[in-house]
Amino acid sequence: MAGKLVIVESPAKAKTIGKFLGKEYKVASCFGHIRDLPESGLAINIEKNYEPEYVISDDKKDVVKELKKLAKNADEILLATDEDREGEAISWHLCEVLGIKPSEAKRVTYTEITEKAVKHAVKHPRKLNMDLVNAQQARRVLDRLVGYEISPVLWRKVKPQLSAGRVQSVAVRLIVEREREIRAFQPVASYKIIAHFTVTDPSGKKVTFKAERPVNFKTENEALNFLEEVKDAVFTVSAIEKRPGKRTPAAPFTTSTLQQEASRKLGFPVAKTMLVAQRLYENGHITYMRTDSTTLSDFALEAIEKEVKKRYGKEFYQKRQYATKNENAQEAHEAIRPSYIDQVSIEGDADDQRLYELIWKRTVASQMADAEIEKTVIDISNNKNSEVLRAQAEVVLFEGFLKVYNESVDEESEADEGAEVMIPPVKNGQQLPLKEMVAIERFTKPAPRYTEASLVKKLEELGIGRPSTYAPTISTIQKRNYVVKESREGVERKYKVFTLCDKKITSEIKTEITGAEKHKLFPTDIGLLVTDFLMENFRDIMDYNFTAEVEKEFDEVALGKMKWYKMIDNFYKPFHQVVETTTKEAQRVSGERLLGEDPASGEPVIARMGRYGPMVQIGKSEESSDKKPRFARLKAGQSIETITLQEALDLFKLPRVLGYDDAGKEVKVNIGRFGPYVQVDKTFASIPKDKDPYTITLEDALTLIREKEDINANRVIHNFEKEGIQVLNGRYGPYIKKGNNNYKIPKDKQAEYLTLEDVLMIIGEQGPTNKGGKRFFKRKR
């Protein structure tokens, strides 16, 4: 049955468009890129104008087979991939694979997925834009050259298995530099003056409100002097100012802003946001979730107008167009919005519903009126000096979009000490009885550490990365162990408070917790080391403007003003030279730091990067003597750059013998590759996070060992020694193990009653579930 074949990228989109076009058209999906450079090897022919070698990706073999079949039976093929650089390239790859001459390809694009737009689009195909395709090839080749030439340098000079890339290395640099800023930060103390006044409101009720000195006093002395001066002062209202203001709603969601808001409002990590959004998209609840555009289609605008007027009244409606801020935006999709605005809520689990609700509110609010605000500022003077205290309050006169949605901000503002937002009506010249005044010591704060979402925001501002890669980039830099997401407990800090009450001044020292962090990104030692190395040797690539600059050149290629391989050549020649000289001349780096002398032996104590991570050692291996240095690995949260001599020496308290069990065997505690553990004979038991290997009691350690022995005793269900096959109890229930391969036990069989014949049959029928161990899982990444 001949017909027309339309190829789009996403299967969910194929379904929607298929409905619009009817039986005459077959709409299929190619699931994104179908070909790419092979994973291993450079696969770029430097001599032949950087000709890339493309292969069909393993996971796309079936897709391509299916598309070929459909193409053979079609009398017309329409390439309807996304309208951006990558989409154009995907269409070109489809041509190459399906045997279509690029000059004869029929390229279809539309900006809005409505029946009218799509039907019009398939009737008016254009030609393939080879300049745009070449800009994509340049992008792809550049990324491969950068990644696959710098990474091996790191293997030789720092540590095997490391990676570098145009996006990830800069992301790590941001975190490294922020951390160094924070470490170097010296808090500066100052004194904040807060006064509380009590007045009687018209109904006769006593109301207390707060006023502050706009600027803090620099020193304790100044603050105390001020309190002394005003001890007997009379306070009066010296000015009242009312200022109208307004607030404007935020633009509809892009991938980046959705990730930020879901993080702030719902506490989602970016990967979770994308997972949930994907589900909402596949179920037809929202538009595409990987987008850099804030544009709403005419269809959506109309629906939102109707919804706002119906739900809130027409004074709440205001039509708005949002220009996309990001210069790099490709705008192949709409903003992220509900597919059907009249659906306020959807079916699904709690996460689905919360994210949908967020998207609904943001979308609707974006087409609503400004909120009108009245800001009141009251100045309070006294008769003892010229200082002015200020009380501020905000009243919302008209809610506007705030009725639906209010965007959050990144930095949690300082905890307000019992602030009274409402100010009772007071008159100019009115005397105000002082209830209490405090001078409280405050400290300046360093720039905040990045969260996953605030890092995405920063990357987007720099034009680095794309909506489809923000979440994967964040997980890559964590997987490579350049960065860890952690919560850390703060430290106690003392601060002074002077209180003026009933004409007496009292002083007090209080403590607060400072520097506590929740789910923030911290660089690891290897992240610090690699960033320093790259900054030293590949400063151009690490420049925050590198991507923006090459993007300009990709644009030149896309406009046909420059040949793509010429552009790459201009970059590669000097770049490769740097790779060569760095490989030849750069020293191996280990971040070695001398901490001091071991008081017991007089040997030097050194912190450095070892083969298995950051470590400290006492003594050096000298060729002349056969004395061996002692080693210990750093604990989580410790860093080569900041560890002190004492902290380093403490690490050598392990391994230690806690005592002996009933049978007189040694109970040992140590920290291994997988964390702290207790050992008796050949039984190892991990020490759970809530216990410390330095302080764990013999009793607790023995309990852990007994529990572990129990598990071990129940581990082996059957052992067919001759055949080298075992039936074992694993983390996910019983399984069969032969050599390094594992096999599932069919659901209708009970592990206990399996005979050797049963087991052999299962092995014969099944492929191993893990394909010989590591490889299988590595590939999935």
Which active-site residues does the annotation give?
288
Q: 590 Cβ partners below 8 Å, 6+ apart?
A: 529, 608, 609, 610
Q: Which stretch binds DNA (CB under 7 A): 116-124, 179-187, 605-613, 658-666?
A: 605-613
Minimal distance, residue 761 CB to DNA, in Å: 18
Q: Is the omega angle on the peptide bond into residue 655 within 30 degrees of 0, that is, cis?
A: yes
Minimal distance, residue 767 CB to DNA, in Å: 10
3-state SS track over 450-483: CCHHHHHHHHHHCCCCCCCCHHHHHHHHHHCCCE
Q: Among 631, 652, 694, 720, which residue interacts with DNA (rule: CB under 7 A)?
A: 631
Sheet containing strand 593-597, strands side by side: 593-597, 604-610, 613-618, 630-633
How many residues of this chain interact with DNA, rule: CB under 7 A?
86
Distance CA 638, CA 633 (A): 10
Distance CA 752, CA 716 (A): 10
Q: Among 3, 12, 339, 726, which residue interacts with DNA (rule: CB under 7 A)?
A: 12
The helix or strand, by DSSP H or E, that contains position 77, with its residue range, turns out to be strand 74-79
List binders of DNA among 35-64 (CB under 7 A). 36-37, 39-41, 57, 59
Is 378 or 727 the residue whose CB approaches DNA more closely? 727
Minimal distance, residue 518 CB to DNA, in Å: 26
In this structure, what token pair is assigned to residue 571?
């970059």
Per-residue contact string for residues 302-341; x = within reach of DNA by CB under 7 A:
----------------------------x-----------
Minimal distance, residue 615 CB to DNA, in Å: 4
The total of other beta-carbon atoms located within 10 Å of residue 260's CB is: 24
Is 398 or 652 the residue whose CB approaches DNA more closely? 652
List binders of DNA among 247-286 (CB under 7 A). 278, 282
Minimal distance, residue 471 CB to DNA, in Å: 9
Per-residue contact string for residues 85-114; x = within reach of DNA by CB under 7 A:
xx---x------------------------
In single-letter form, the type of residue at position 640 comes to I
Is 37 or 368 the residue whose CB approaches DNA more closely? 37
Minimal distance, residue 30 CB to DNA, in Å: 8
Minimal distance, residue 136 CB to DNA, in Å: 8
What does DSSP say about strands 106-107 and 74-79: parallel, antiparallel, or unpaired? parallel
Minimal distance, residue 286 CB to DNA, in Å: 12
SS3 449: coil
Question: Is 634 buried (19+), middle (13-18) or exposed (0-12) by CB count in 10 A?
Answer: buried
List binders of DNA among 455-494 (CB under 7 A). 464-469, 472-473, 476, 480
Q: How far is CA 249 from the centre of its chain?
A: 25
Is 364 or 462 the residue whose CB approaches DNA more closely? 462
Q: Among 185, 443, 612, 660, which residue interacts with DNA (rule: CB under 7 A)?
A: 612
Q: Among 24, 414, 489, 623, which residue interacts with DNA (rule: CB under 7 A)?
A: 623
Question: Is 323 buried (19+), middle (13-18) or exposed (0-12) by CB count in 10 A?
Answer: exposed
Choose among 359, 333, 329: nearest CA to 344.
359
Minimal distance, residue 473 CB to DNA, in Å: 6
Is residue 617 within 8 A of residue 634, CB to CB? The reply is no
Per-residue contact string for residues 285-304; x = within reach of DNA by CB under 7 A:
---x-x--------------
Distance CA 663, CA 371 (A): 76
Minimal distance, residue 749 CB to DNA, in Å: 14
Which long-range CB contacts under 8 A does 635-642 form with residues at least 24 apart?
635/671, 637/486, 637/488, 638/614, 639/524, 639/525, 639/528, 639/614, 640/525, 640/528, 640/529, 640/591, 640/593, 640/607, 640/608, 640/609, 640/614, 641/183, 641/525, 641/528, 641/591, 641/593, 642/183
Is 193 or 336 the residue whose CB approaches DNA more closely? 336
Binding of residue 366 to DNA (CB under 7 A): no
In single-letter form, the type of residue at position 29 comes to S
List binders of DNA among 525-564 (CB under 7 A). none
Per-residue contact string for residues 394-433; x = within reach of DNA by CB under 7 A:
----------------------------------------
Question: Phi/psi of residue 353, each to 5°?
Answer: -65, -40
192 to 14, 82, 196: CA distances (angstroms): 61, 56, 13
Q: Which stretch binds DNA (CB under 7 A): 8-16, 366-374, 377-385, 430-438?
A: 8-16
Choose among 498, 503, 495, 502: nearest CA to 229.
503
Q: Which stretch binds DNA (CB under 7 A): 97-105, 365-373, 566-574, 612-620?
A: 612-620
List binders of DNA among 69-88 (CB under 7 A). 82, 84-86
Is residue 254 within 8 A of residue 335, CB to CB? The reply is yes
423 to 100, 436, 562: CA distances (angstroms): 74, 17, 65
Instruction: List, in sequence order, every residue forming a beta bridge with 51; answer none if it has no partner.
Output: 45
Distance CA 169, CA 530 (A): 9
Distance CA 82, CA 290 (A): 12
Is 377 or 751 the residue whose CB approaches DNA more closely? 751
Q: What is the DSSP letter of 562?
A: S
Is residue 420 within 8 A of residue 234, CB to CB? The reply is no
Distance CA 67, CA 97 (A): 9
List binders of DNA among 673-702 (CB under 7 A). 673-675, 677, 679, 684-686
Q: Among 352, 457, 742, 759, which residue interacts with DNA (rule: CB under 7 A)?
A: 742
Is 424 or 591 the residue whose CB approaches DNA more closely? 591
Minimal distance, residue 243 CB to DNA, in Å: 44
Is 271 or 344 the residue whose CB approaches DNA more closely? 271
Minimal distance, residue 163 CB to DNA, in Å: 3
Q: Among 5, 6, 13, 605, which residue interacts with DNA (rule: CB under 7 A)?
A: 13
Distance CA 536, CA 586 (A): 10
Per-residue contact string for residues 637-676; x = within reach of DNA by CB under 7 A:
---------------------------------x-xxxx-
Per-residue contact string for residues 745-774; x = within reach of DNA by CB under 7 A:
------------------------xx----
List binders of DNA among 119-178 (CB under 7 A). 140, 143-144, 146-148, 151-152, 155, 160-169
Q: Which stretch binds DNA (CB under 7 A): 20-28, 31-39, 523-531, 640-648?
A: 31-39
Question: Is 413 buried (19+), middle (13-18) or exposed (0-12) by CB count in 10 A?
Answer: exposed
